[in-house]
Amino acid sequence: MTKDTQQDLSPNTLPNPFNQGYFESEELRKFGFKSVGENVKIAKNTTIIGLNNISLGNNIRIDGNVVIAAYSGSLTLGNYIHIGGGCYLGCAGGITMGDFSGLSQGISIYSGTDDYTGKSLTNPTVPHKYLKVKLAPVVLGKHVIVGSGSVILPGVTIGEGSSVGALSLVTKSLDEWGVYFGAPAKKLKARSKDMLKLESELMLENASKSTQQQRSV
Ligand SMILES: CC(C)(COP(=O)(O)OP(=O)(O)OC[C@H]1O[C@@H](n2cnc3c(N)ncnc32)[C@H](O)[C@@H]1OP(=O)(O)O)[C@@H](O)C(=O)NCCC(=O)NCCS
């Protein structure tokens, strides 16, 4: 367990029952996900439906009280991805998150939605032929970060490197490398690309660690 995911264990007390801890890659691979990379951690109080539609890269952390509904569609997560507590991911139309992207807390992403115009019945308890569900993929590019409490609707692509401020509603695709916020989300300014240098440094560090490991085998 790493420092950020460890259980609270103090001497003379029971383990903290409110911190259920995380499943990690080795165990997760037994549950039926489509794929699970290295260093993946998923909080034990996460709700996930449709494990066989979910592909997980390396270095991923999914925190508590996240709900992932993937009984149809798909969820594809790249590498170095964080999904903060209390997020909801409706995956019926397909959700993809690129490397180094993240959701803070309490964000909802819908790749499928009922028709709100009144031309059909709504909600999943009604037989499908009476509904008019819109399905469209949601794609978050590399280095995208979404602020607390935001909502992203079907068909949205958030371009590489863009950030979305807290409490935003994203109804249309956003271009690359911008800072956006609001309902509906609008561009505030360009976003710095300084992080790309740090990404290169991290990749070099990883490559050098893996060479050292191969030599020591
Ligand atoms: C959008 C955001 C990135 C902009 O940050 P910034 O570049 O430092 O911009 P500023 O704080 O200077 O704000 C610029 C203006 O936009 C307004 N603003 C900023 N964020 C806003 C938001 N999410 N919604 C509505 N208005 C917002 C500010 O009040 C300010 O208005 P003013 O010019 O009338 O005073 C930031 O405010 C934000 O929402 N960050 C998300 C933080 C978060 O969710 N963290 C969770 C843990 S990771």
Residue with more model confidence, 134 or 213: 134
Q: Is residue 6, in this structure, part of any structural domain at all?
A: no
Q: Is residue 3, in this structure, part of any structural domain at all?
A: no
C-alpha 77 to ligand 1 mean position (Å): 27
Q: Is residue 149, in this structure, part of any structural domain at all?
A: yes
Give the number of domains in the chain. Answer: 1
Distance CA 202, CA 205 (A): 5
Task: Please tell me the pTM assigned to this model.
Answer: 0.94
Q: Nearest C-alpha to atom 48 of ligand 1 is from which residue?
A: 104
- Please report, for the domain that includes residue 186, its CATH number: 2.160.10.10
Distance CA 204, CA 206 (A): 5
The DSSP symbol for 174 reads B
Distance CA 40, CA 60 (A): 5
Q: Nearest C-alpha to atom 45 of ligand 1 is from which residue?
A: 147
Instruction: Say whether pLDDT at 3 is over 70.
Output: no
Q: Is residue 143, in this structure, part of any structural domain at all?
A: yes
Task: List pLDDT tens digits, range 76-104.
Answer: 999 999 999 999 999 999 999 999 999 99
Percent helix, percent strand, percent coil in the chain, to nearest 5: 15, 30, 55
C-alpha 51 to ligand 1 mean position (Å): 36
Q: Is residue 169, in this structure, part of any structural domain at all?
A: yes
The DSSP symbol for 86 reads T
Q: Is residue 46, in this structure, part of any structural domain at all?
A: yes
146 CA: nearest ligand 1 atom? 44
Assign residue 53 a region: left if phi > 0, alpha if psi is -120 to 50, beta otherwise?
alpha
Alpha-carbon radius of gyration of the chain: 19
Q: Is residue 17, in this structure, part of any structural domain at all?
A: no
Assigned token pair, 13: 């007390």
- Report, as an integer, the average pLDDT of 208-212: 91
Distance CA 129, CA 134 (A): 13
Q: Is residue 7, in this structure, part of any structural domain at all?
A: no
Pocket of ligand 1 (CB under 6 A): 104, 147-148, 163, 165-167, 179, 181-182, 188
**What confidence category does residue 8 fall into, taking pLDDT thresholds of 50, 70 and 90?**
low
Range(s) of the domain holding residue 150: 22-216
Closest CA to 24 of 6, 47, 8: 6
